[in-house]
Amino acid sequence: MVHPRSLSTKRIIFLGTALTLGLFVYLYFAPESSIATILLTPGSCPARAYSNGTWKGPYPRTNSMRMIDKTQALQFAGFSGCASSREFHWHLAADNEEQWDRFPAAQSYRWEVGREEGCSGLRKLNREEMVRDLVEQGGWLFVGDSITEGHFFSLSCLLHPHVIATPTYEPNSYFDRAWPQNLYLNPDSPLLRPNSRANKQLVFPSGFNITTTPLATFRRIDLLFEQSELVDLHNTIHPNPPTNFSLFSKEATWSMSPSEYTNLFLSGGYGTMIVSTAGHWTTTLFSGYSEAVLEDAKKGIDGVLHFFEQAMTKWAGDVQGMLDEAATKEGGRKKREVVVRAYLPGHEDCHKHREPWTEIRPMLWGWYNWAQIERFNDIFEVLFFLLRAGC
Least confident of 2-6, 113-117, 246-250: 2-6
Q: What is the pLDDT of residues 343-357, one digit of tens each?
A: 988 888 888 888 888
pLDDT at 354: 84
Mean residue pLDDT across the chain: 82
Least confident of 173-182, 243-252, 289-298: 289-298
- Alpha carbon dihedral 14, 310, 152, 15, in 10-degree steps, equals -10
Peptide bond into 214 cis (omega under 30): no
Which of 167 and 9 is assigned the larger pLDDT?
167
Residue 377 has pLDDT above 90, yes or no: yes
What sign for the dihedral angle of Cα 52, 55, 56, 61?
A: positive
What pTM value is reported for the model?
0.87
Return the top range by mean pLDDT from 237-251, 282-296, 350-364.
Answer: 237-251
Q: What is the pLDDT of residues 127-156, one digit of tens each?
A: 999 999 999 999 999 999 999 999 999 999
Please name every residue paired with 53 in a beta bridge, in sequence order, or none if there are none.
113
Q: Which residues, at least 6 apart from 194, have a Cβ–Cβ distance to it below 8 Å?
A: none
Q: Are 83 and 168 in contact (CB under 8 A)?
A: no
Quick one: which of 265, 276, 223, 354 has its CA closest to 20? 276
Quick one: which of 333, 360, 334 has its CA closest to 346? 360
CA–CA distance, 61 with 127 (Å, rounded to integer): 17
pLDDT at 301: 93
End-to-end CA distance of the chain: 14
Q: What is the pLDDT of residues 156-210, one digit of tens each?
A: 999 999 999 999 888 776 778 889 999 999 999 988 876 655 556 788 998 999 9
In the structure, what pLDDT confidence band is assigned to residue 42 with cuts at 50, 70 and 90?
A: very low
Residue 326 has pLDDT above 70, yes or no: yes
Quick one: which of 252, 312, 246, 250 has its CA closest to 278? 312
Quick one: which of 209, 188, 191, 210 has its CA closest to 201? 191
Q: Are 387 and 7 in contact (CB under 8 A)?
A: yes
Q: Are 109 and 19 in contact (CB under 8 A)?
A: no
Which of 243 and 142 is assigned the larger pLDDT?
142
Residue 1 has pLDDT above 70, yes or no: no
Which of 282 and 384 is assigned the larger pLDDT?
282
What are the phi and psi torsion angles at 14 (to 5°)? -115, 120
Q: What is the CA radius of gyration of the chain?
A: 22
